[in-house]
Amino acid sequence: MIGKTLTAALLASALATPVQAQDRTDAIAAELATMRAKIAQLEAEVAALKAKPVEVAPAPVAVAAAAPAAAENPSWKGAPQFTGKNGFSFKPTGVLQFDAGYVGTPGPDRTGTVGGLNYNNLGWNSRGRRLIIGAEGTLPGGFGYKAEFNFAQGAVDYEDIVLTYRGEKSPFQITIGNFFPYSSLDTVTSSRFTSFLERASLTDAFVYNRRLGVGVSLTDPKNDLYTLSAGLFGQEINNAAFNRTGWQASVRGTFSPSLGDTRLHLGANFQHRVAQQDAQNVQYRARPLTQLTDQRFIDTGAIAADGDDIAGLELGAIHGPVHFAAEAQRVWTRGFRAGRSFGPNNGVGGGLFYTDNPAFASAYAEVGLFLTGESRGYKGGRWDRTKVSKPFDTGGWGALQVNVRADYVDLADRVSGTGLAAPDYVNGGRQLGVEASLIWNPTDYLRFVAQYGRAGYQGGPRAATVVPGSAEPLDERGFGVDTFGLRAQVDF
């Protein structure tokens, strides 16, 4: 196009007069300048288009790749929970429990310590029952962790400190660390969710506590129908000595079918415990339905033995707002006596010898009702958190629950003869407690508890002190103690 124009212009110049030729030359020069400017402008626009990035709609794969970054934003489950890439997660945990209450003084009004009973540790009292701070989460490859520390009473104690592993879609879980052996329904239930201020007396009387160990659990993650757990444990994590030779083997199984609208709990457990070599003895005792005092009115004292065996049965049910629970356990000691002695490198640590193996028992039964219609939480063979139907912060009243319990411990056993002391008789005493509690949960993670209990006693090491003028034998002397307690709790 430009070439044809130039050719026409040259022909016209050749045929024109000199003056016309000059005019034509000037016009052609002007037209060429204009064309050069337009060409330069077009080239600049093409260069600009080449330099500008092309905007393309993001592909679906780009959206999927961005999802893990969004998951790192914290969610909320009682506390912020952070979930990152490749299976990492982190959640702070904690429990704050503040208790106050009263433990009655049995027998004559006294002060100080009389007959082994410290009267100054009775009456009104208060304490930070649990001040627990910790964290839990997951790790890549199916691993998990939990670590919680209790700062109550101005000292550091250890709660659950564990590492777990569960394969993808596997019903088996391995737990390693410091945790409760598989011992009973009430014992393995978190203190956050118990129906009274303290667990049933068998937990205290038969010395259940967390131990270092490893356990394997078979569960039903789909229907939550059964559990089967077994573990091997050493001694407590806070045992600072190097002669930690005591150990324990535990097994527990549960079955929780549904019959219509009723969820059942059936369970059994067994423990085989071996005492530490240089202190081969066992001792069973229990507080009066509360830990607002350290005094015990039933106590076997130390019994020379290399350990014990414990078998227990569990029964529970949930029907709408009503729940029921009952357990019974029997303890058989493996005592030392004539013909059965301990090894040359061992010792009984002051334990008393009896002519045969003493045996003891404990049982409880309780019923609870949610006045506001909730159902008690249950998961994995233990009691769990109850979901509040109408939380206080949204205009409701929260959840209100009443519970009653009968709790029995028998620490007396006649192994032989007619005497009321070793080696014929273990005068540990018997305790029958009757308790009632009122629990208010304004929200899922906030709880207030009021509890009254009456503990009745027969015999035991304090009977002579509390009932000094009775003509009855020491193992038949009876007395009672009233207890009252309050708790404020928040957990996350």
> Rounded to 5 degrees, what angle do the CA atoms 209, 215, 216 make?
145
pLDDT category at 396 given cuts 50, 70, 90 is very high
- Look at residue 106 in the predicted model and tell me its pLDDT: 94
User: Quick check: 48 pLDDT over 60?
Assistant: yes
Cβ contact 288:115 at 8 Å: no
The one-letter code for the residue type at 52 is K
In the structure encoding, which two tokens stand for residue 56, read together? 């393309």
Segment 205-221, tens digit of pLDDT: 999 999 999 999 999 99
CA distance 175 to 164: 4
Segment 273-312, tens digit of pLDDT: 999 999 999 999 999 999 999 999 999 999 999 999 999 9
The one-letter code for the residue type at 185 is L
Segment 452-481, tens digit of pLDDT: 999 999 999 999 999 998 999 999 999 999
Q: List CB contacts of 380: < 8 A, sequence separation 6 or more.
A: 219, 224, 227
pLDDT category at 440 given cuts 50, 70, 90 is very high
* Residue reference for tokens 């069973």: 284
CA distance 82 to 69: 11
404: phi then psi, degrees, rounded to nearest 5: -135, 145
Cβ contact 201:364 at 8 Å: yes
Question: By percentage, how much of the chain surpasses pLDDT 90?
Answer: 77
Q: Is the peptide bond before 423 cis (omega within 30 degrees of 0)?
A: yes
- Residue 180 neighbours by CB distance under 10 Å: 22
- Look at residue 49 in the predicted model and tell me its pLDDT: 64
- Look at residue 50 in the predicted model and tell me its pLDDT: 66
- Which of 312, 316, 315 lies closest to 329 in space, CA to CA? 312
C-alpha neighbours within 13 Å on the C-beta side of residue 7 = 4
Q: Is residue 270 helix, strand or coil?
A: strand
CA distance 204 to 488: 22
Cβ contact 127:99 at 8 Å: yes
CA distance 62 to 65: 5
CA distance 189 to 281: 28
pLDDT mean over 346-373 = 96
Question: By percentage, how much of the chain surpasses pLDDT 70?
Answer: 89
pLDDT category at 53 given cuts 50, 70, 90 is low
Segment 148-207, tens digit of pLDDT: 999 998 899 999 999 999 999 999 999 999 999 999 999 999 999 999 999 999 999 999
The one-letter code for the residue type at 299 is D
User: Quick check: 65 pLDDT over 50?
Assistant: no
2: phi then psi, degrees, rounded to nearest 5: -70, -35
* DSSP state, residue 239: -
- Which of 342, 338, 355 lies closest to 307 in space, CA to CA? 342
Which of 19-33, 42-56, 269-283 is predicted most confidently? 269-283
Pick 96-491's CATH classification: 2.40.160.10, 1.10.10.10, 3.40.190.170, 3.40.50.300. Answer: 2.40.160.10
CA distance 253 to 246: 24
pLDDT category at 51 given cuts 50, 70, 90 is low
The one-letter code for the residue type at 55 is E
- Look at residue 72 in the predicted model and tell me its pLDDT: 56
Tell whether the torsion through CA atoms of 147, 449, 442 and 184 is positive or negative: positive
pLDDT mean over 62-72 = 44
- What pTM value is reported for the model? 0.83
